[in-house]
Structure 1
Amino acid sequence: MRIAVIIDTWFPFMGGGQINAWEISNRIARSGAKVDIITRNNGKDNLKGLKNLQVYKLGSKSNPNDSFSKATFLVRSFFFAFGKNYDLIHAHAFLPGITAKLLMLTKNIPAVLTVHGTSINTQLNNFFSRALEKFILTQIRYSSQISVSQDFLKFKNINKRINYIPNGVNIKLFDKQAGSESKTPTLIFVGRLHPQKNLKNLIAAIKIVQKKIPNIKLLIIGAGELKASLQNQVRELKLKNNVKFLGQKTGNDLIKLYKSSQVFILPSIYEGQPISLLEAWAAKLAVIVSKTGDCQYMVKDGKNGYHIKSPDDASEIADVIQKAFSNKNLENLGIAGYNLVKKSFSWEKSAEQILNMYEQIAYN
């Protein structure tokens, strides 16, 4: 079987969609299928895959957020895939869904779309962007759809052929890495420095928490468009000793940072099913998350983490942080999360489900 995986943003940019596409594609390739990942040229990466897994970066190097580059990629990716003999097209995020549908119509190739999360019900994007996203995700019909989030299944008019296949985590990598105990109360955030992640309110909350926990520390792991403005906010609030920007981290470097912390925090405006949440639990951390997306179902308040009900309220975020660090049994919450991840969330399980779907669609 020859599969085209189409995704419009790629490493070194890191998000859940990119990690999912790479992890699943590697495991599909191990089964013997030939997988071509078709994407944009967003810069150099250090990824190493199997011989039957190829990454094609189309066009000149571009910024991940460049709208013109994304639009031209739809055309480039269509003609690139049109010239090949693929058995199945698998698009990730929403814009590549257009390419997948065009190939489905013009070459009679089955197409799958994976939804990683949606901003449809928020005001973060303009009306046109939200309308286009809603049309692609809920009006266009594909051979099948995958949602990594149970929450998306509640949307009206979604494809009846939709499957919930969650993200995963390689828990063995976390088990191999020893933890480093720290007496300093430390929070860790892992993700893009993007308005969706609500870091401005998180930093404001740290200022409030500092009054009661002067040595509170927040590690911000990730890169993105808001870095400069967030660093300015930290300077203005005189939090340079409390908030550290450590950039993008991967592999053992990232695992070490998780394990040097006590609490993971993700105060997002919206989420699908964040891989960073699974990683935090794999590191046996208690978690604090906004009550949105699959976070609201996976995190049981007071049992394996805590909910933020109003992420736009810095005072509430501060209260939840203080509540977590005052819990003498905080480690038990992390262990409960670890047990959940170990039982239900692995890339191998998800890849097996997707491969079975591929075979049913391509050969039936």
Structure 2
Amino acid sequence: MIRAAFVVGSISRKGGGVAEAVKLLAKAVREHPNISVEVITLKDEHFDKDIADWSGIEVRSFRYFGPSNYGFSPGLLMHLLRGHFDLSHVHGLWMFHCFVVLLWSRIRGRPYVVTPHGTMERWIVSRSPIKKWLVTKMYQARFLKSASAFHILTKKEKGDVDSMVRNSKSMVIPNFLPLATPTTDKPQWWVDGFQNKRIYLFFGRIHEKKGWRELCEAWDQQCSADAGFAARSQLVFCGWLDGSEDFRMRIEALARAHENACYAGPQFGVDKTASMQAATVFILPSKSEGLPMGVLEAWAAGIPVLMTAACNLSIGFEAGAALEIGESCEAISAGLRAADQWSQHDLDRMSNAGRQLIMERFSTESVSMKVHDLYEYVLKDGRPG
């Protein structure tokens, strides 16, 4: 039995798509008969509420001190050192938990695997450069160099890893996601007037890199140019605000101008399921992603997708489950015009293609076997630096 410690900065809504990906990966991996998983994390302000979603997974949480985006936690370090783990699996970078695992590896002589979750992507690395420079100089350069292997989510991410770590070993293992259980429940934001409209759903963190601003500009442009589109379409934003102080004001302006845009706030649990399945089209005009869980969740629910190449899911374009759009206002407008022309047959075809992708590429069996193979390789051949 391989005893693995999943070490991650947050498993609550604060952790966004990374937390969701870790939860699903833990659920997939625990199904393998030769792996046991314990998740070790920080206890942030949303932990007590969101831990309910982790039923069936062993989770240990610890207090932290100082800024929440760093998470200094002696308790986390002591627990890992006292544990009897064969390896650690680190999720995300730029925080104290990376130093914890580096120190544990040096003391215990055990290997670790790193899943960056897109945090080595150039756009992310360029953000908060002073903090990242300090962390890199203090320990992260050694942490990355000493990793026995990298679990990457896409082939594109291999280039991001290679740009920071020479001669790295890596394996592509996508996120696991089950097919969504159909529901007839309507989300809280639903009104009767939406019944005959085509619902365009943006679901996720409201951040500049996600392209929400360009989407709003494109929506305004398209509705102003085509009154028919404005009448038969509804734009819904679901997610939590991360910066973007003028977001609410922008959505209110769209609602006043065209009466077809709204912000429904964060959605979790049954509300999230209902929101996703109420959509006609999922849209993500992102500038930077690792492997966006929102797109996978849309496919699992049978929702056609409009997304940029930066979402790193080109298999969706190839399979006919998604249409590629650009990142600019004009390119997003072109995508909206194309989606407006889709017939019910087109929507059904894309829906089936998305669900088929989830079954073939993101199943429990596929993901858990690949993770087991990676762990076996690391324990046999990998050595902590």
TM-score by length of 2: 0.81
Q: Does 1:208 find its partner at 2:229? A: no
Q: Which residue of 2 aligns with 1:164?
A: 172
Q: Which residue of 2 aligns with 1:147?
A: 152
Residue of 343, 361, 364 corresponding to 1:344 = 361
How far does residue 188 in structure 1 lie from its aligned partner after superposition? 0.7
Q: Which residue of 2 aligns with 1:330?
A: 346
How far does residue 228 in structure 1 lie from its aligned partner after superposition? 5.1
CA distance in structure 2 between the aligned counterparts of 1:118 and 1:133, rounded to whole angstroms:
13
SS of 1:140's partner is helix
CA distance in structure 2 between the aligned counterparts of 1:324 and 1:94, rounded to whole angstroms:
37
Q: Which residue of 1 aligns with 2:38?
A: 36
Q: Does 1:49 find its partner at 2:48? A: no
Cα gap change, 1:136 to 1:26, in 2 (>3 Å): farther
CA distance in structure 2 between the aligned counterparts of 1:230 and 1:153, rounded to whole angstroms:
33
Q: Which residue of 1 aligns with 2:5?
A: 4
CA distance in structure 2 between the aligned counterparts of 1:102 and 1:170, rounded to whole angstroms:
35
Is the deviation greater in 161-170 or in 123-132?
123-132
CA distance in structure 2 between the aligned counterparts of 1:244 and 1:73, rounded to whole angstroms:
38
How far does residue 21 in structure 1 lie from its aligned partner after superposition? 1.4
Q: Does 1:244 find its partner at 2:249? A: no
Cα gap change, 1:231 to 1:140, in 2 (>3 Å): same
SS of 1:68's partner is coil
The answer as to whether partners of 2:321 and 2:354 remain within 8 angstroms in 1 is: yes
CA distance in structure 1 between the aligned counterparts of 2:17 and 2:379, rounded to whole angstroms:
26
Q: Which residue of 1 aligns with 2:248?
A: 231
1:181-221 CA distance string (max 9 Å, x none): 94202101111112221212212221112221123211212
Q: Which residue of 2 aligns with 1:58?
A: 62
CA distance in structure 1 between the aligned counterparts of 2:337 and 2:367, rounded to whole angstroms:
36
Q: Which amino acid aligns with 2:346?
A: L
How far does residue 267 in structure 1 lie from its aligned partner after superposition? 0.8
How far does residue 179 in structure 1 lie from its aligned partner after superposition? 8.8
The answer as to whether partners of 2:28 and 2:367 remain within 8 angstroms in 1 is: no
CA distance in structure 2 between the aligned counterparts of 1:20 and 1:72, rounded to whole angstroms:
20
Q: Which amino acid aligns with 1:165?
A: I
How far does residue 355 in structure 1 lie from its aligned partner after superposition? 2.7
Q: Which residue of 2 aligns with 1:268?
A: 286
SS of 2:209's partner is helix
Residue of 329, 332, 351 corresponding to 1:317 = 332
The answer as to whether partners of 2:277 and 2:301 remain within 8 angstroms in 1 is: yes
CA RMSD of aligned residues (A): 3.0
Cα gap change, 1:72 to 1:192, in 2 (>3 Å): closer
CA distance in structure 2 between the aligned counterparts of 1:235 and 1:191, rounded to whole angstroms:
19
CA distance in structure 1 between the aligned counterparts of 2:329 and 2:71, rounded to whole angstroms:
40
Is the deviation greater in 231-240 or in 215-224?
231-240
The answer as to whether partners of 1:259 and 1:283 remain within 8 angstroms in 2 is: yes
Q: Which amino acid aligns with 1:118?
A: T
Cα gap change, 1:105 to 1:254, in 2 (>3 Å): same
The answer as to whether partners of 1:177 and 1:252 remain within 8 angstroms in 2 is: no
How far does residue 146 in structure 1 lie from its aligned partner after superposition? 0.1
Q: Which residue of 1 aligns with 2:93?
A: 94
TM-score by length of 1: 0.85
CA distance in structure 1 between the aligned counterparts of 2:141 and 2:367, rounded to whole angstroms:
24
CA distance in structure 2 between the aligned counterparts of 1:318 and 1:302, rounded to whole angstroms:
23
Q: Which residue of 1 aligns with 2:205?
A: 192
SS of 2:67's partner is helix
SS of 1:69's partner is coil
Q: Which amino acid aligns with 1:283?
A: A
Point out the structure with the larger helix share.
2
Cα gap change, 1:6 to 1:165, in 2 (>3 Å): same
Q: Which structure is higher in RCO with an 8 Å CA cutoff and minimum separation 6? A: 2
Cα gap change, 1:162 to 1:20, in 2 (>3 Å): same
The answer as to whether partners of 2:29 and 2:367 remain within 8 angstroms in 1 is: no
SS of 1:214's partner is helix
1:88-107 CA distance string (max 9 Å, x none): 11110113333322221121
Cα gap change, 1:138 to 1:104, in 2 (>3 Å): closer
Segments of 5+ residues of structure 2 without an aligned counterpart are 187-193
CA distance in structure 2 between the aligned counterparts of 1:239 and 1:9, rounded to whole angstroms:
39
How far does residue 290 in structure 1 lie from its aligned partner after superposition? 1.2
Residue of 162, 177, 183 corresponding to 1:177 = 183
CA distance in structure 1 between the aligned counterparts of 2:104 and 2:258, rounded to whole angstroms:
51
The answer as to whether partners of 1:182 and 1:261 remain within 8 angstroms in 2 is: no
Q: Does 1:353 find its partner at 2:370? A: yes
